Structure 1
Amino acid sequence: MNQTPITCVIVDDEPLGRAAVREGLKHDSRFQILFECEGGEQAIRCLQKQAADVVFLDIHMPEVDGFEVLEALGDQAPLAVMVTAYDQHALTAFDYFALDYLLKPVDPERFQRSLDKVVRRVEEKRRNGEDPAQGNFMKHLRADGAGGDRLLFKCVDTLLLLEPEQLQWIEAAGNYLKLHSGNQTYLIRETMTGMTERLHGIGFGRVHRSFLVNLKFLREIHPGGAGSEAYVALQDGTKLPLGRTYRDELIRQFEPGN
């Protein structure tokens, strides 16, 4: 009886990198390539729409790197085989529970051993209905309450854990976001749209295209009008602009019955 193929995705911003992995998979009937992605953002969108068993993932990519892909996918992340030209990220890869770490150009025999490892892990997952070693760092933190309700953010050189009530407001800064927590400011690489979706339903609200606030810290709403500016004031006195697009929805959240 034929076994269900192992579905896989190839993610690399370089055509030659994708071609090398594709060539290695072409003659192995155990694997089925679902799609190929030219960058991290595309990979996140595609894998959120269609699950896969394994992703062959480059690390160094413009805009969104391989680790940020795994972080963004959270529990949706498939098994990951990192394929990169750099050996200094090996320890970080295994912190993200990567199944394997391959250096370019990948030796065919080494690639075959990696495929065999993927097969063993996927078969184990299918037998048990779960994958005991699968999941990224975020999933590991939640195991047995290790992470609790804390939020994980990848800063420039560290992973930051914050309770939702420790995060007061978020500001867009070009391709980055600034997280404001007490007297501390942290810089992370994430879009405001992605952050808004991530914090939806846990007490955060958009007040402007460039600002997202923890509603617990909101003290005043100034709707504006008749020449006066629209803004919100936080408990510590911080004033942030209030966009017309977000004003009515913000006010509605505080009306009786909501």
Structure 2
Amino acid sequence: MKIRCVIIDDEFPARALLKDYIERFPHLELTGSFKSPLEALPLLQSGGVDLVFLDIQMPEISGMDFLKAFHLKNILVVITSAYPEYALEGYQLDVIDYLLKPFAFERFVQSVQKAGDRLHQRNSDSSTTATAFAESREFIVVKADHKSYRVNVADILFIEGMREYVTFHCLNQKLVALESLKNLVEQLPAGLFMRVHKSYIVNRQQVKALYGNQLQLHNSDKTVPIGQSYRDEVRKELFNLN
């Protein structure tokens, strides 16, 4: 995972030192180096920055005042300063580390490790939350026949793709919608649905039996074909067969 970094310091030697340190790490990417926070603001607000190394004493606006005035959403901040008295205030503003100038490379490494740990935790939490949300969804909205239907996901037997359309085969109805299987795979809870063919997605709980390259379902007289490239995964995931 690349960590996109920005340096903000009005002193050239400080910027050069940080640039040198950053370039020693293959997973760090320097996306900008600025003499003032206001110069860096457009890049910071673009969403393309993960980590900022921010000086405190600068002519236009101090690093502390900048943090108070502008909310750097989803950006981690490491303060780099020659003034230790600002450390407590910095941590109150939720900076992840405070590098006291002059600092050695070994101390810089600790800040990078903290940033990496925080970003990894954030990504893990986000993935877990998204998965939990998807798995907990009880219905999806299907637009068909100029109407919007609330369809219980548990009632979907299987979904059949037909070029730019899909057919939802449900317990009590069949709906044809302008949609793609690729999009549906991303939307439907993976713990409940599985793609078994380039043209079919099945409800795992509705699978009754495997017969050759066909799946027999509990509540349907239709069988669903298994694509050759999906066969091994279907056998393993649905029937624990190798």
Give TM-score, length-normalised by structure 2: 0.50
Larger Rg: 2
Greater percentage in strand: 2
Give TM-score, length-normalised by structure 1: 0.47
